[in-house]
Amino acid sequence: MTVRVRFAPSPTGFLHVGGARTALFNWLYARGEGGVFLLRVEDTDRARSRPEHTQAILDGLDWLGLDLDEGPVFQAGGIDRHREDAYRLLEQGAAYRCFCTADELARRREEAKQAGSGYGYDGRCGRLDAATSGARAEAGEPFALRVRVPGEAIGWEDMIHGPMSFPAGSIDDFIVLRSDGTPVYNLAVVSDDAHARISHVVRGDDHISNTPKQILLYRALGAPLPAFGHVPLILGSDGKRLSKRHGAMSVLAYRDEGYLPEGMLNFLALLGWSPGDDRERFDVGGLVEAFSIDRVLRKSAVFDLDKLGWLNGRHIAASPPAVLAHPVIGILRAEAREAGLRLAETHPELEASADRLAAIIDLVKERPRTLPALARQVSPFFAASVRYEPDAVRRFWKRPAETAEHLRQLAARLAEEASFRDVETLEAEVRGVAARLGVGAGRVINPLRVALMGQAVSPGIFEVLGAMGRERVRARLEAAVRFLEVEAEAEAEAVTA
């Protein structure tokens, strides 16, 4: 049997973490089994469905690399088939006409509440004989269609949870077609899944209560029953259902924040699935090879934004510099545009130095967790000037006059260095200056890092020197000395005053 799975979102919002994970698990299962992955857009809620939400779902799947084998198909396109299936249930005696109005049902529900008992539909319309029911319908009396629920337990072997069962009497006769002729969710889903020959239904735990009703509908329609697997929900760190307050966003928002699709896929896969060993970083091929539905965990996963950042950083570090260069240039160009400038003005030679850019990305890519953070690390190597981070200045330029003198002497010594790109020689020169000044190497290295990068953190400073080059290092040190001299004068004036 060919494995056929589907992802069936409603276009009433964007593609969020929970839906993306469901799509991923279905896609991985299909790819691992040589099966088919189908997208069905459940757009029967016409009032809330939006074309832009459908497009956002498609864009999110495309960004993640979850390619479709079939679809998208739209649930609203099957409404005639849904009605036909509902009336087939009526003809077979598996469903009956219910003439109870909404007001009558609400009144009975309120009476039950006042009596302190739970309300369940009592099946009264199901006891009408066929002639009476038919005559009332012929007379134009509105009716819904309800399915007769047998007085027996309804169970199934869940692919994730194992044996599951709803006891007899726990489900009332339920509506499948409203009095206005619109199908109810459970009927539409079963009709669509049967029509698409879906073999395995993998979805969230919030659908468990729908499953026994759907099993009854499959049986009544004489359609093959798919295997069901229900994935536990994703929770926030406080144990509550995941929401925006936990840092969760739409999938495309993570793209816009600078996460890689590989990092996002890796993170989503580990939200409720375990490979059975200590591996955490997976590429897409590794996920397809390692994924199995029986290793999806039965307990809820906890959304951890720090874990996402760490995994994304590992994927950035593993990515070829040529792959990272394009987004880095795009980010720096957008920043220049926001300042009303061209990239050539803010970062001269960046676009014309592909080999040098690749080498610098390779130097700095171990630490950043997002693409904008990577761009911030690359920027100082090409920027016409750097902005000194206030925290870095407070930490490492506390004594402006002294620091200016240290950098001045360092600049003079480095200006004489012939083999400027030899890292070992550069290290010896920097440490030599510190020794001659009678200070620890950190008293020279940390101020130097701020002067060159504008930041308190960078790759190895000696590698930075070599990658930045003699002329840019000279210019950065001169600019830093000028800045520190102004700070020293202001400090002296403050003391005198």
Q: Would you name the residues annotated as active-site residues? A: 244
Q: Are 401 and 459 in contact (CB under 8 A)?
A: no
Tell me, what DSSP letter sits at residue 5?
E
Please report the sign of the dihedral spanned by the C-alpha atoms of residue 302, residue 28, residue 72, residue 145.
negative
Q: Residue 452 — φ and ψ, nearest 5°?
A: -80, -45
Alpha carbon distance 38, 72 (integer Å): 7
- At 388, list the tokens: 């000194």
Determine the distance from the C-alpha atom of residue 396 to the mean position of all C-alpha atoms in its chain, rounded to a whole number: 38
Q: How many beta carbons lie within 10 A of that of residue 420, not counting itself? A: 17
Q: Taking Cα atoms as reference points, which of 320, 314, 326 lies closest to residue 270?
A: 314
Alpha carbon distance 239, 269 (integer Å): 20
Q: Are 179 and 145 in contact (CB under 8 A)?
A: no
User: Quick check: helix, strand or coil at residue 494?
Assistant: helix
Q: Are 26 and 16 in contact (CB under 8 A)?
A: no
288: left (phi over 0), alpha (psi -120 to 50) or beta: alpha
Q: Taking Cα atoms as reference points, which of 408, 401, 381, 409 lies closest to residue 469?
A: 381
Determine the distance from the C-alpha atom of residue 282 to the mean position of all C-alpha atoms in its chain, rounded to a whole number: 16
Q: Taking Cα atoms as reference points, which of 237, 247, 357, 355 lies closest to residue 309?
A: 247
- At 315, list the tokens: 């994927």
Alpha carbon distance 357, 325 (integer Å): 7
> Could you tell me where the DSSP H helices lie in 185-291?
185-195, 211-221, 251-256, 261-269, 284-290
Tell me, what DSSP letter sits at residue 296?
B
Q: Taking Cα atoms as reference points, which of 445, 366, 372, 371 lies closest to residue 410?
A: 445
Close Cβ partners of 404 (under 8 Å, ≥ 6 residues apart) = 480, 481, 484, 485, 488
- Decide the pairing of beta strands 144-147 and 95-98: antiparallel
